[in-house]
Amino acid sequence: MTIRIGIVTVSDRASKGVYEDKGGPAIQDALREILSCDWQPVPRLIPDEQPIIEQTLRDLCDQEHCCLVVTTGGTGPAKRDVTPEATEAVCDKILDGFGEQMRAVSLKVVPTAILSRQIAGIRGQSLIVNLPGKPSAIRECLLAVFPAIPYCVDLIDGPFLTTHDHVAKAFRPKK
């Protein structure tokens, strides 16, 4: 069974072709660096519209069977930033620690990290993680939370994710 990972860029301007999507490729690059197992990206580029974000997340989890869905964009305080609301609307459980850890790491770099509203949650057998929109922040936030992601995916009966230990060592409790 192929490991499928959804990669969602939420951006009005990038989805209209006003500028190039740099967030989705940054997620793919970081995941290629982190994961040692074979996996297939399932990318989406969509506008900041809550119904579209919700439907995209549902499709990636329920139809595309992605064990992990990583989003970028739409997590700030601006009026059109609704990715966390869409994520919360489709999730069965919210995992607050992901957002807390990402903000803690980002605060070491920029004081405006407190404005970021990233969250993560579970929908069925999928973990959804919201990342910020800036490519450098995408990598640092993924590295900060990825040690917990493979075990989380294990706990929701997803595929066995392996990492390059020198990049992000997956933590699994000893049996």
List, for residues 68-116, the tens digit of each pLDDT value: 999 999 999 999 999 999 999 999 999 999 999 999 999 999 999 999 9
Q: Which domain, by its residues, includes 89?
A: 4-155
- The string of DSSP letters for the chain reads ---EEEEEEE-HHHHTTSS---HHHHHHHHHHHHB-S--EEEEEEE-S-HHHHHHHHHIIIIIS--SEEEEES--SSSTT--HHHHHHHH-SEE-HHHHHHHHHHHHTT-GGGGG----EEEETTEEEEEE-SSHHHHHHHHHHHGGGHHHHHHHTT-----B-TTT-PPP----
What is the total count of domains within the chain?
1
Residue 164 lies in a domain: no
Residue 169 lies in a domain: no
Residue 29 lies in a domain: yes
Residue 58 lies in a domain: yes
Residue 173 lies in a domain: no
Residue 131 lies in a domain: yes
CATH number at 58 reads: 3.40.980.10
Residue 170 lies in a domain: no
User: What is the pLDDT confidence band of residue 21, given thresholds at 50, 70 and 90?
Assistant: very high
The reply to whether the predicted model has a pTM over 0.85 is yes
Residue 167 lies in a domain: no
Query: Does the pLDDT of residue 1 top 90, yes or no?
Result: no
